[in-house]
Amino acid sequence: MNLASALTDGFAERSNLDRDTINLGNQLLFLDTVVLEIPIDIDLSNLCVHQLGPRKWISSQILFFGLVGTLQILITNRADYLASRLCLGLAESGYIPRSIYTISTWYTSRKRTRRVAVFFIGMFGGNALSPLLASGILKLSCRHGLRDWQWLFLDGLFTFLCERVVLFLVAWVTWETKPLVGRGLVVFSEKDREILQDRLVRDGDGLDLTDGKPKSHIPLAVVWKTVKHWRRWLHFVSTFCIFSTWSPLTTCTPSIIM
């Protein structure tokens, strides 16, 4: 959404980018997300969150995403732009499934549904809010030597504030490795973990948090069997069609309106 707003301020022209390059960069961002979220093995795909814990891993991912987003103010050519898109996709890859998985280790199915709903409301609410903020940010008129679209990308600094919130408020569980920057404000003790474990088992999830790893194991053969099932291809094709048009449409709509 920031990119869409920046295009209305001449970002593409000043960075020597044509429309094909803008669209290519968007698809590179999604390419990272798709390739790096393939669940080849549940232990492998969630290795980082298991070994480091959600506080460390998710907050580090947010920090990296905010850093890359902010550094977009330095884009001056095609290579810079494409590299930034690739790095943004890398930074956000796995964020949604790992966040939802983390929620699934704390809440039963009924309570989890509400938390996941709030999670996605926040994500799409941010997309709705972004153009409203941009309408004001784009009026800063080259203050301190920065163009209006550069001020827009500087809102990545707010992501650092979110990273601090996650780092201190996401619960630290006793099975995690040595905590980063202290244990934070919320700590799950040994007894807390046993209560969580018991609730999830009774709810039917059967997650085992004794060593920070789930009981279930998903081999590659099961993943392949799932992917090639004909019923799921209806979802794959419809999703492909939606996002193939949604991405360029949201990117270009502000410019079209202008």
Residue 182: exposed, middle, or buried by beta-carbon count in 10 A (0-12, 13-18, 19+)? exposed
- The residue type found at 16 is N
The mean pLDDT of the chain is 81
Distance CA 180, CA 165 (A): 14
Residue 193: exposed, middle, or buried by beta-carbon count in 10 A (0-12, 13-18, 19+)? middle
DSSP letter string, 3-15: HHHHHTTTHHHHT
DSSP letter string, 97-142: HHHHHHHHTTS-HHHHHHHHHHHHHHHHHHHHHHHHHHHHHTTS-S
- What H or E segment, with its residue span, contains residue 224? helix 220-227
SS3 172: strand
**What's the mean pLDDT in 63-71?**
92
As beta bridge partners, residue 173 has 188
If you ran DSSP here, which 8-state letter would residue 155 be given?
A: G
Decide if pLDDT at 68 tops 90. Answer: yes
If you ran DSSP here, which 8-state letter would residue 39 be given?
A: -
Distance CA 109, CA 115 (A): 10
Decide if pLDDT at 78 tops 90. Answer: yes
Whether residue 186 contacts residue 55, with contact meaning beta carbons closer than 8 Å, is answered with no
Tokens of 80: 């810079």
Distance CA 245, CA 228 (A): 24
Whether residue 95 contacts residue 114, with contact meaning beta carbons closer than 8 Å, is answered with no
**What is the reported pLDDT for 44?**
47
Best CA proximity match to 151, nearest among 138, 168, 135, 133: 138
Kindly report, residue by residue over 5-14, the tens digit of the pLDDT: 888 888 898 8
At 138, is the pLDDT very low, low, confident or very high (cuts 50, 70, 90)? Answer: confident
- The residue type found at 11 is F
Whether residue 76 contacts residue 196, with contact meaning beta carbons closer than 8 Å, is answered with no
Sign of CA dihedral 251, 154, 79, 31: negative
**What is the reported pLDDT for 86?**
92
Q: What percent of the chain has pLDDT over 70?
A: 84
Kindly report, residue by residue over 186-223, the tens digit of the pLDDT: 877 778 878 888 888 888 755 555 454 545 566 778 87
If you ran DSSP here, which 8-state letter would residue 135 be given?
A: H
| Greatest Cα pair distance in the chain | 60
Q: How many residues does the chain have?
A: 258
- The residue type found at 136 is G
- Cα 124 to chain centroid, rounded: 12
